[in-house]
Amino acid sequence: MTRKRPQRDLGGLLGGAQALTQADPEVRRLPLKQLRPYGGQPRRFFAEAELQQLTHSVREQGVLQPLLVRPAPSGQGYEIAAGERRYRAALAAGLTEVPVLVQPLSDPQMLEVGLVENLQREGLSAIDETEALLRLVALRLEVTLQQARQILMVNLRNPEPERVSVLEEVFGLVGGQTWQSFAKNRLRMLQWPGEVLEAMRTQGLPYTLGGIIAAAQPDHRTRLIEQALNGASARELREEVASLQPTLVASSAVERRLDEVRRRLKQPGLLRDLNKSQEAELKKWMDRMPAWLREDGGDHST
């Protein structure tokens, strides 16, 4: 499931790359064979229908918005900071060159520009969005991904004004959710089973259905994913997952108590020697038995 994302002024979010949103460098045309995607591109999966639609548009009108690129560190060709979808569509449409803006971007700037561009776009899967936001938080706080996760969770309990300010800036400009909601609801997604995340990333499995399937036993997940992709509702999946839960067995402590009762009842003369008070207690105990246990037709008094 995707949602429409608000388009914002990204100048502040780009930090050191802010000039990229304001400067007006010369637009050039470069051969497609000289371009290649940047390895840090956060958008890992492009929906086929989305690319086909863009390819049709590019075939009819050409690439209207220049790609943002930098000279490749190797000295050969250029790496795409923003516009990989347009690049792929141009290749599919049979174009030989596209308009570009060339900027000497650093690795952090390349990552930040790509993250921001894709987080603004409709169609980004929930898992790619979550990973991209976490990377953006880590980039802005200058920490590792693991440290970024810890900072998000810690600040839910004990807010640190400086870090909260950065978090609010990032999530406010990207739009769609607060950093608190992201920390509470989205971070745990990164711990879901790999097959669920892969289906979300490459097959469009909705986030809401992915969470239901993630709770299922491993042997059933592939079939549940297929059911979800074939139109099963959240209610149907919940019922299916509940029906697949293993039957609970009595705990070892309960089994030990039952064994003790059985041994006691089998003692010779136990029931014959009961006094009236003990008989009354035994009757009350038997009356409190679960119905399924009382319905045993056997006669245990002899």
8-17, 26-35, 113-122, range with the lowest pLDDT: 8-17
Residue 294, both tokens: 């009382």
47-56, 58-67, 78-87, 141-150, range with the lowest pLDDT: 47-56
pLDDT at 1 over 60: no
Percentage of the chain modeled with pLDDT above 90 = 46
99: closest CA among 160, 29, 16, 50?
29
pLDDT at 272 over 80: no
Cα distances from 273 to residues 263, 269, 270, 290, in angstroms, run 16, 6, 6, 26
Q: How many CA atoms lie within 13 A of 81 on its CB side?
A: 25
pLDDT band at 294 (very low <50, low <70, confident <90, very high): low
Using one digit for the tens of pLDDT, what is the confidence trace for 178-237?
999 999 999 999 999 999 999 998 888 999 999 999 999 999 999 999 999 999 999 999
Q: Are 25 and 103 in contact (CB under 8 A)?
A: yes
Q: Are 240 and 213 in contact (CB under 8 A)?
A: no
| Confidence (pLDDT) at 224 | 95
| Confidence (pLDDT) at 247 | 59
Domain 15-119, CATH among 3.90.79.10, 3.20.10.10, 3.90.230.10, 3.90.1530.30? 3.90.1530.30
Highest mean pLDDT among 25-29, 35-39, 87-91, 168-172: 87-91
| Confidence (pLDDT) at 41 | 64
Using one digit for the tens of pLDDT, what is the confidence trace for 126-177?
898 898 889 889 988 999 999 999 999 999 999 999 999 999 988 887 777 8
| Confidence (pLDDT) at 126 | 87
Q: What is the mean pLDDT of the chain?
A: 83
Check residues 258 and 6 and name the one with the higher pLDDT: 258
| Confidence (pLDDT) at 114 | 81
Highest mean pLDDT among 20-29, 111-120, 176-185: 176-185
